[in-house]
C-alpha cells in the first residue's frame, strides 16, 4: 500500500493491545450520547471444515439464551434500555456488537447483559432446532432466487477445494447434522479473547474504554489467535457455466480472483473499478449496457476483500433472450477498457467521485466502526482513514492502466448464467 502523510488526523484512532491479547481500536466521539462496541473474532465459515454452516449457526445462537435468561428475556432487557445487540458472520469472521446510550443508567445495564451473553451463552436445544429450521428456510429461498443460485455457483466454481467455496449458511444436509455440542465447541475454540479485535466508538473516555475491554477479557476464555488463510487461491480454468432456472431473466455473475487490502495495486484498482462499474451512474458498464443498449436495469463491478484473495465480480440481470448479447457486450467493454485504459476525463471524474463519497464513510459512529473493523481485522495501517484521500490523489493515470492489464483478464473469467 502507498502511504502519504495527512496534515491532520481526520479520525483520531487510538490502538492498544489488552493485557490478555485482544487488539483494541478506539475513537472518542461525543457528538451524540451513544457508544458502539463491536468484537470481531476470526471465526467465519472458512473454519467450518466439513460441517458447513457451523460458524453461521453458532453466531445466530448468540442471543438465543444464557444460563440466566431465555431469548425473550434477552430481547426485552436490551429493549428496556434502548440498546441493540447485533451479530453477523462471514467467510472470515464472526461478529457480536452492542449499540447503546452512553448514560450510565442505560450503558451499565446493556453492557452487563452483553457480558452475560459472551460468558454464559448456552445454546439451548429448542432454540437451536428453531434456528436450524430458519436456516433451512433461508436455503430454500436461496434455491428459488436466481441471484443466490448464481452467487453460490460462482463461489463454488472459483474456490473449488478451498474453504471459501461452500455457502456461509451451509447446505441442507450439513445444517441438519449440526448439534448443540458442535456449536459449543466452535464457540469455545474461536470466540476467545486472544482471537478478538475490539472496536469502540462513541461518547466514552479512553480510561472507561480500557476498563470495559478488561471486563470483556474477564468474560471470555483465553485461547489462541487464529492464523488468517494465507496466500492466493490457484486460479481456476475459465468458462461459461449455465444453470437452468424457470425465470424470465438470466442472472449473470462473471469474474476472477482479485486481490486483498495489502496489494500494491489496491489504490490504483479502486480508481480503475470506479470507472468500470463501481459508480453506477457514470461507469462504463452502466452507461453502455443500460444507457445505450437498455439491456439491464443495473450492472456493477467490485473487488471483495478478505483474508485469502477475494473475488472480482461483475453482476447483472437481463432478459433471457438478451443474455448472450449482454454477456458478449460486457466482455467487449471490459476487454477494451483493459487494453486502452481510461480517458483522462474518466480518470479525473473517478477520483472526484471517490473524494465526494469519502465523508459519507465517516459520517456516523457506525460508519467509523465499520472502517475500524477493516483496519483492525485485516491489519491495515492505523492511519488508513487519514491517508486514504492522499493515496487516491497520488495514483497516476499510467498506474491505473498498468494495474488494469496486470489484474483483469477477461479471457480467464468465470461466467455463471442462471436462467432459461
Q: What is the pTM of this model?
A: 0.94
- Give the residue range(s) of CATH 3.30.830.10 domains in the chain: 14-219, 239-418
One CATH from 3.30.420.10, 3.40.190.10, 3.40.50.2300, 3.30.830.10 for 239-418: 3.30.830.10
Strands 196-202 and 311-319: unpaired
Q: Distance between CA atoms of 213 and 101, rounded to whole angstroms?
A: 17
Return the number of other C-beta atoms located less than 10 Å from residue 289's C-beta. 22
Instruction: Check residue 5 and give its pLDDT.
Output: 47
Architecture of 14-219 per CATH? 2-Layer Sandwich (3.30)
Q: Distance between CA atoms of 343 and 349, rounded to whole angstroms?
A: 10
Instruction: Check residue 6 and give its pLDDT.
Output: 45
Torsional sign, CA 187, 190, 196, 202: negative
Q: Distance between CA atoms of 154 and 151, rounded to whole angstroms?
A: 5
pLDDT tens by residue, the chain, 420 residues: 555 544 578 999 999 999 899 999 999 999 999 999 999 999 999 999 999 999 999 999 999 999 999 999 999 999 999 999 999 999 999 999 999 999 999 999 999 999 999 999 999 999 999 999 999 999 999 999 999 999 999 999 999 889 999 999 999 999 999 999 999 999 999 999 999 999 999 999 999 999 999 999 999 999 999 998 866 676 666 889 999 999 999 999 999 999 989 999 999 999 999 999 997 788 999 999 999 999 999 999 999 999 999 999 999 999 999 999 999 999 999 999 999 999 999 999 999 999 999 999 999 999 999 999 999 999 999 999 999 999 999 999 999 999 999 999 898 899 999 998
Instruction: Check residue 195 and give its pLDDT.
Output: 96
Closest CA to 268 of 333, 339, 371, 341: 341
User: 5 vs 160, 357, 386, 388, CA distance in Å?
Assistant: 41, 20, 8, 10
Instruction: Check residue 234 and give its pLDDT.
Output: 66
Amino acid at each position: 500500500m502507498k502511504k502519504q502523510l495527512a496534515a491532520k488526523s481526520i479520525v483520531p484512532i487510538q490502538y492498544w493491545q489488552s493485557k490478555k491479547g485482544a487488539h483494541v481500536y478506539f475513537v472518542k466521539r461525543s457528538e451524540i450520547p451513544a457508544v458502539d462496541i463491536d468484537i470481531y473474532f476470526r471465526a467465519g465459515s472458512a473454519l467450518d471444515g466439513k460441517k458447513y454452516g457451523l460458524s453461521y449457526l453458532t453466531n445466530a445462537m448468540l442471543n438465543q439464551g444464557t444460563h440466566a435468561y431465555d431469548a425473550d428475556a434477552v430481547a426485552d432487557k436490551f429493549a428496556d434500555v434502548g440498546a441493540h445487540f447485533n451479530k453477523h458472520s462471514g467467510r472470515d469472521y464472526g461478529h457480536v456488537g452492542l449499540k447503546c446510550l452512553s448514560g450510565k443508567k442505560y450503558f451499565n445495564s446493556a453492557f452487563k447483559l452483553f457480558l452475560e451473553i459472551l460468558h454464559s451463552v448456552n445454546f439451548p436445544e429448542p432454540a437451536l432446532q428453531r434456528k436450524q429450521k430458519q436456516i433451512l428456510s433461508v436455503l430454500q429461498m436461496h434455491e428459488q432466487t436466481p441471484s443466490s443460485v448464481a452467487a453460490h455457483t460462482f463461489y463454488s466454481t472459483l474456490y473449488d477445494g478451498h474453504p471459501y467455496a461452500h455457502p456461509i449458511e451451509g447446505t441442507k444436509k450439513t445444517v441438519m447434522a449440526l448439534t448443540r455440542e458442535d456449536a459449543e465447541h466452535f464457540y469455545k475454540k474461536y470466540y476467545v479473547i486472544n482471537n478478538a479485535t475490539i472496536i469502540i466508538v462513541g461518547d466514552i473516555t479512553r480510561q472507561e474504554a480500557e476498563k470495559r475491554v478488561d471486563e470483556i477479557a474477564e468474560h471470555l476464555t483465553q485461547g489462541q489467535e487464529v492464523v488468517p488463510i494465507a496466500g492466493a487461491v490457484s486460479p481456476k480454468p475459465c468458462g461459461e457455466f449455465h444453470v437452468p432456472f424457470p425465470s424470465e431473466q438470466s442472472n449473470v455473475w462473471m469474474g476472477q480472483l482479485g486481490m486483498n487490502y495489502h496489494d500494491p495495486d489496491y489504490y490504483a484498482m479502486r480508481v480503475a473499478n470506479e470507472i468500470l462499474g463501481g459508480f453506477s451512474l457514470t461507469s462504463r458498464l452502466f452507461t453502455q449496457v443500460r444507457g445505450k443498449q437498455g439491456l439491464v436495469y443495473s450492472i456493477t463491478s467490485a473487488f471483495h476483500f478478505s483474508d485469502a484473495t477475494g473475488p472480482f465480480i461483475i453482476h447483472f440481470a437481463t432478459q433471457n433472450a438478451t443474455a448472450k448479447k449482454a454477456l458478449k457486450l460486457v466482455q467487449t467493454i471490459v476487454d477494451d477498457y483493459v487494453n486502452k485504459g481510461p480517458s483522462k476525463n474518466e480518470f479525473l471524474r473517478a477520483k472526484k467521485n471517490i473524494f465526494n463519497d469519502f465523508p459519507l464513510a465517516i459520517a456516523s459512529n457506525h460508519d467509523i466502526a465499520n472502517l475500524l473493523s477493516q483496519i483492525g481485522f485485516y491489519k491495515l495501517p492505523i492511519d488508513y482513514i487519514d491517508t486514504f484521500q492522499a493515496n487516491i490523489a497520488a495514483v497516476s493515470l499510467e498506474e491505473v492502466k498498468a494495474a488494469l492489464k496486470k489484474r483483469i483478464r477477461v479471457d480467464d473469467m468465470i461466467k455463471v448464467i442462471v436462467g432459461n
